[in-house]
Amino acid sequence: MMAKPIDSEHEREEKWLNEEVTFTFHNVENPGLKMDFHFGGTKEYKRYSMFDGGTYTYPRRLKEHLEGLSYPVYDWIPDGTGRLVKKKIRDEHRFMCREVAPSRSTTKVA
């Protein structure tokens, strides 16, 4: 009997990204507001609506995408010669998605 071939790293990553996960959505950029957006490729293009503080179950790919959205924050820093230089000081994340642990059924012990 032949052993099952090991999945390629790409296949494992795709499987991981397509897993359904439950997470709480936080709109850091505009707290308390609903966010409507479209996400996906040409064949899997879908519309989503999320409320700040709501709990959702979607593919991990969507969660990872939302957590990766940010914008740069710049400041003017003295360069030591009397001039100010504009420098990026950080990235400000727009959204947070915190995974919710899957609920476990509890059994009462007498």
For the full predicted model, state whether its pTM sits above 0.85.
Answer: no
Query: Quick one: pLDDT at residue 104?
Result: 57
pLDDT-derived band at 103 (thresholds 50, 70, 90) equals low
Backbone phi and psi for residue 5, each to the nearest 5 degrees, phi listed first? -65, 145
pLDDT per residue as tens digits for the range 15-74? 888 899 999 999 999 999 999 999 988 887 899 999 999 999 999 999 999 999 999 999
Q: Which residues are CB-contacts of 38 (< 8 A; sequence separation ≥ 6)?
A: 45, 46, 47, 48
pLDDT per residue as tens digits for the range 70-89? 999 999 999 999 999 999 99
Does the structure show a pLDDT above 90 at 5?
Answer: no
Taking the CA atoms of 52, 53, 58 and 59 in sequence, report the sign of the dihedral they define. Answer: positive
Angle 9-18/60-68 helices, nearest 10 degrees? 90
